[in-house]
Amino acid sequence: MNDGGIYVRGWGAVTSLGWSAPAAARRLIAGDVEPAAACTSSHLVNRAFKAYEVAYGGHPLDKATAMLWSALDEAFAMAGLSAGDIAESSLFVGTTGGLFIRNEYEFTESVRRNPDQDAPPISCRNRGPGEVADWIAAQYGIRGMALTFSMACVSSSHALVVAADLLQKGKIRRAVIVGFEPLLNMTLHGFASLLLFDDDQCRPFCAKRAGMQIGEGAAAVILDRDKSSSAKYRLCGGYQYNDIKSMTSAGIDGMTVCNVVRQTLTDARLSAGDVAAVKAHGTGTRDNDLSEGRGLVKLFQEKLPPVISLKGAVGHTLGAAGAVETALWLSCCEEGMIPRSFGFTEIDPDIGFAPSQQNIPARDGAYLFTFFGFGGTCTSYLILKG
Amino acid sequence: MEFFMDTKNNKPQKRSAAAPVIAASYIGPALMPNRHALWEENELPLNVDTLVNEVMGQPMRRAGRFIKMVACGGLTCLQGVTLDFLKGKKTGIFLASGLGNVDEILPFITEVFKHGGGFPSPNQFANSVSNAAAFVLAKICDVTGTVLTISQEELSFEAALWLAQNYLEDGDIDLALVGGCDIFTPTVDEYRERLNLCLSRYRPLPMGEGSSWLLLGRDDERCVGEIFVVDFADGEAGPDALSATARAVFERHVRPGTDVKRIFLPGFRINTDELDFWRRHGWMIDDYLPCCGVHSTAAAFGIARVLRETPGAFFMHRNAQASGRQAVVFGATKKR
């Protein structure tokens, strides 16, 4: 991916901070961030779980659809793509839950409408994660390649790196990368069963961190080989790696993270000193932040650039995290500021640094993005500004 | 050369080179690796533990059925070369599944929704994560590079194969282990709904399952065939257009005068009228679906089976999504 790079032509995002990426960026920079709260969506059966929920007045299936179209419309508009341009694009979707929300919504509705009857067993009628791509292709008339990556928390970040690879090889003309994760009972209860939630707050890299909090999100990022007049950002290196040592941890000694980031820099023909800031995965779980923090320190040593996790502000959007956090970050760059990392109060001596605690100017340079997921999956990429 | 799927807009800028196939394996609902056996839809799913013991040599106690099927399918393919063959080579794993770990998701979500509160199992949730199976297979194979779990409904296997071919061609990897796995999950009616089936959109055949794999890479001694082209099109392209493309691919890859069978492998959305079309045009029909039943990644079964069992053939597999998007795979098997 080092041969000139791939241009980021447009993006869009819907998160708990708002229905557009610039709106969310402005709130991040202003520090206007609400903590995760008990969810209100009608399909959620346990209101005790706190999460970062997208505000919406209608029913959850409508909301999921609206989130998807809103993020894509925003990205297409920013990229200035015509219907013909969109049609010849290829589609790369990252999602874990896909449209599973339909099962949950239909079930809870049937129970709600029949209060005097025993609840039926829940049906599983969605068509797998690939259904999302089929929806999008039909909605926008996309006729290029469609690929759905269902790979836990790196789903859309892996999709982005694979799409960039294919663009670089000249196999596709343009890539629309989508991350999509509506809030699901399945994931809320799943992570609760693994005891991975922090009931109080998501505190990335903090000594007091005790787990993650889930966020709801949809986002789209458009990559192109051709530099359009509006393209200011260039994806200049990316790396995907599968760590088989552990299904749930990237290794708390930090070596895996260090190697993945080093490989990304090599791919981009950049050095550690070129990195202006790190958009860390920073989930707030004990192991992830230890692995990542130690890995970053190992690599950058005393020249560690500002490290920011967005999960203290929007939660962990799981498979959508790659697209969501890229879109928010780039909108922050457009606003001229990189926001502080939320949820931090105390340095963890085992990590040895504090994530950035003040907004910093979004200067020209390389921004490093890292993502680490269940199943040993690691993604890292660099986006150049200027 | 123009292929039929080069309709207005979706033409890739570069086409991929042919990918040699080093090994192929198939497992269907009877759970007999690379063998044909009778099975009945109403007796599915069969217990997979005998297969696990046969292939893995030990039980996989904490793994779900989907993960077991993926591991058994991938390892069965590698039995053709042994695991040592992968050592020192950059290997990619490309797991395709239309529906993924539904076997774990269903009981988990049933517990979540249990009246009065159930006990969702953390192990079940971990097993239900979509890429858990690829992790297990990668660990067994000691593969650390490109490991991808890809889902594109009934074109999942073709999508994974296309991606693997691209990674191989550019030297990102030396070997690609590409497989399709989907498992039978009750009820039959819901299973059909999950595959978006209605009578006008598929050949009425029993529902099934499978885990079928190809090992792609360059090895002249072991080569059992080649994958020439994997490509996609929207619903406008019909068999007439495909026929011209098939002829062009044939002429490009098969030396004139070579005695080869031309075999059409019909995916489950290909109707019987089209089978007649190909017969009229001199193709033999290898209807593999009665052997594996309808499942999202049945294409992997059909392609792996023809690669193992029909030497000296030029083959074409075609399937489509209900929405009309279609995929075609052209390849050939080696004469033995």
Task: Say what the ipTM of the complex is.
Answer: 0.95
Q: Which of A118, A193, A375 sits opposite B132 (nearest CB)?
A: A375
Query: Which B residues 30-89 touch A at CB under 8 Å?
Result: none
Chain B residues whose beta carbon lies within 8 Å of the beta carbon of residue A189? 108, 112, 120, 125
From B206, B194, B189, B220, select the one nearest B102 (Cα to Cα): B194
Q: Which of A114, A116, A148, A176 to mutate to test the interface with B (most CBs of B within 10 A)?
A: A148
- Alpha carbons A253 and A246: distance in angstroms, whole number: 13
pLDDT in tens, B111-170: 888 876 777 889 888 888 889 999 999 999 999 889 999 999 999 999 999 999 999 998
Q: Which of B8, B131, B166 sits opposite A169 (nearest CB)?
A: B166
Of B138, B152, B194, the CB nearest to A146: B152
Mind listing the domains of chain B with CATH numbers? Answer: 19-217 (3.40.47.10), 227-333 (3.40.47.10)
By the 8 A CB rule, do A288 and A281 touch? yes
- pLDDT for the residue B116: 67
Kindly tell me if the per-residue pLDDT of B2 is higher than 50: no
CA-based max dimension of chain A: 66
Mean pLDDT of all residues in B316-336: 93
| CB within 8 Å: A146 and B97 | no
The residue with greater pLDDT, B300 or B5, is B300
Å from A335 to nearest chain B CA? 35
Position B8 scores a pLDDT of 38
Angle at A255 between CA A254 and CA A259, to 5 degrees: 120
Interface test with B, best of A166, A183, A378 (most B CBs within 10 A): A166
Mean pLDDT of chain A: 94
**Chain A hits for B105, Cβ within 8 Å:** 100, 124, 186
Residues of A in contact with B196 (CB under 8 A): 127
> CB distance A149–B148 less than 8 Å?
yes
pLDDT at position B4 is: 42
Give every residue of chain A whose pLDDT is below 50, as ranges: none
Q: CB-CB: which of A124, A128, A171 is closest to B13?
A: A171
pTM: 0.96
Residues of A in contact with B66 (CB under 8 A): none
Give the minimum alpha-carbon distance from A358 to chain B in angstroms, rounded to a whole number: 36
pLDDT confidence of residue A275: 98
CA distance B187 to chain A (A): 9
pLDDT above 60: residue B176: yes
Sheet holding A50-52, edge to edge: A37-38, A50-52, A214-215
Q: Which tens digit of pLDDT belongs to each residue from B12-22?
A: 445 678 999 99
Answer yes or no: do B13 and A149 touch at CB < 8 A. Answer: no
Between chain A and chain B, how many beta carbons pairs sit less than 8 Å apart?
196
State the best of B131, B148, B170, B197 to mutate against chain A, taking most chain A CBs within 10 Å: B131
The answer to whether A172 touches A90, Cβ cutoff 8 Å, is yes
Per-chain mean pLDDT for chain B: 90
Q: Tell me which residues of chain B, numbers 252 to 291, contact chain A at a CB-CB cutoff of 8 Å.
A: none
Domain ranges of chain A: 6-385
Measured between beta carbons, which residues in chain B are less than 8 angstroms from residue A185?
109, 112-113
Q: Is the pLDDT of residue B183 over 60?
A: yes
Strand ranges for chain B from DSSP E: 19-25, 91-96, 147-150, 175-182, 210-217, 225-233, 261-266, 284-285, 313-320, 326-333
pLDDT at A46: 85
Nearest residue, CB atoms, B122 vs list A104, A134, A193: A193
Q: How far is A187 from chain B (nearest CA, A)?
A: 8
Q: What is the pLDDT of residue B7?
A: 35
Cβ distance of B190 and A242 shorter than 8 Å: no
Q: How confident is the model at residue B43 (pLDDT cuts 50, 70, 90)?
A: very high
Interface test with B, best of A44, A101, A171, A267 (most B CBs within 10 A): A171
At B10 the pLDDT is: 45
**Tens digits of per-residue pLDDT, A261-288?**
999 999 999 999 999 999 999 999 999 9
8 Å CB contact of A138 and B323: yes
Best residue in B106, B149, B196 to probe A by mutation, most A CBs within 10 Å? B149
Q: A115 — contact with chain B (CB < 8 Å)?
A: no
Contact of A240 with chain B, judged by CB distance below 8 Å, is answered with yes
Torsion of CA A310, A311, A312, A313, to 10 degrees: 60
Which residue in the set B142, B162, B196 is minimally distant from A127, CB to CB?
B196
Quote the percentage of chain B above a pLDDT of 70.
94
Residues B243-271: tens digit of each pLDDT: 998 999 999 998 888 889 999 999 999 99
pLDDT reading at B199 higher than 80: no
- In CATH terms, the fold of domain A6-385 is Peroxisomal Thiolase; Chain A, domain 1 (3.40.47)
Task: Choose between A125 and B200: higher pLDDT.
Answer: A125
**What residues have CB less than 8 Å from A301, skipping those under 6 apart?**
none
What confidence tens digit (pLDDT) does each residue in A314-363 have?
Answer: 999 999 999 999 999 999 999 999 999 999 999 999 999 999 999 999 99
Position B234 pLDDT exceeds 90: no
User: Which chain A residue has the Cα nearest residue B11?
Assistant: A144
Token pair 């797998």 is found at A128
pLDDT above 90 covers a percentage of chain A that reads 83
pLDDT at B45: 95
Pairwise CA distance, residues A25 & A174, whole Å: 26
Q: Of chain B residues 149-208, which have a CB less than 8 A from chain A?
A: 149-153, 155-156, 159, 162-163, 166-167, 170, 172, 185, 190, 193-196
pLDDT value for A67: 98
* Contact call for residues B202 and B294 (beta carbons, < 8 A): yes
